Amino acid sequence: MKKKLIVATGNEGKLHEIRQILKEFDFDVVSMREAGVFTEVEESSSTFEENALLKCRAIAQKTDAFVISDDSGLEVDALNGEPGIYSSRYMGEDVSYDIKNANILERMKDVPKGERSARFVCAVAAILPDKREFVVRGTMEGEIGYEIKGEHGFGYDPIFYLPEYGMTSAEILPDEKNRISHRSKALHAMREKLAGEIA
């Protein structure tokens, strides 16, 4: 029987990608809703790693299953790393990504081509049934584009330009994003880290 793995996220975009990426791993992936465990966590830390652990612990307290969480965001170098750990709260949690993305493009309008570097960062935390904790990070490098482009992905994908593809991460196919993304790299790094730890 496959081992149950609860993904501690309320973000449907993340959950969908995590499910796709973990397809090749031998787990029965369930959402918090499917597992019947819920919690509201204040992401009070100043790092992606600590925030991922906070979310993971909140769920792991309520279950003996294997739990993972994802804390992620967009770092724009010309904006001193903003929105960073505040990516989902940027301009307010309920503000649409059309507005958030347009705002970032506006703030970047005078930034020259060579200075538009940015990256997506993803920290994945895992807590095993015996309560041991692990955390890893993955990143995907790119640039802030000049317009909102693409229908795939979620969040800041439509302004995140990948020079090697000549497209945003909302324009490349979802399978391709899942092969190269910060989330994919972090989940694969976690698998490496846990190799041998999970009986």
The residue nearest ligand ITT at its CB is 155
Q: Which is nearer to ligand ITT, 3 or 39 (CB)?
A: 39
Q: Which of 140, 194, 137 minimizes the C-alpha distance to 164?
A: 140
Contacts of 11 (CB under 8 A, 6+ apart): 70, 88, 154
Site for ligand ITT in 93-112 (CB under 6 A): none
Q: Which is nearer to ligand ITT, 120 or 161 (CB)?
A: 120
Binding residue for ligand ITT, selected from 28, 43, 82, 141, defined by CB under 6 A: 43
Site for ligand ITT in 143-162 (CB under 6 A): 153-157
Q: Is 72 in the site for ligand ITT (CB under 6 A)?
A: yes
Interface region with ligand ITT, contact rule CB under 6 A, candidates 10-18, 106-114, 127-135, 184-192: 10-18
Binding residue for ligand ITT, selected from 20, 31, 45, 88, defined by CB under 6 A: 88
Which residues pair with residue 124 across a beta bridge? 70, 136
Interface region with ligand ITT, contact rule CB under 6 A, candidates 18-26, 56-64, 72-80, 126-134: 72-80
Longest dimension (CA), the chain: 56
Separation of alpha carbons 121 and 128, rounded Å: 23
Q: Write down the least CB distance from residue 56 to ligand ITT, Å.
A: 10
Binding residue for ligand ITT, selected from 56, 71, 101, 162, defined by CB under 6 A: 71
- Burial pattern 120-142, b for ≥16 Cβ within 10 A else e, equals bbbbbbbbbeeeeebbbbbebeb
**Ramachandran class of 6: left when φ > 0, alpha when ψ lies in -120 to 50, beta otherwise:** beta
Tell me if the bond preceding 158 is cis, omega within 30° of 0.
no
Q: Give me the catalytic one of 71, 77, 94, 110.
A: 71
Residue 34 DSSP SS3 = helix
Site string for ligand ITT, 159-188 (x = CB under 6 A): ----------------------x-x-----
H-helix or E-strand spanning residue 122: strand 117-127
Beta strand 160-162 pairing with 133-144: antiparallel
Annotated active-site residue 71? The verdict is yes
Active-site residue numbers? 71
**Where do contacts with ligand ITT occur on this chain (CB under 6 A)?**
9-11, 14, 43, 55, 70-74, 87-88, 120, 153-157, 181, 183
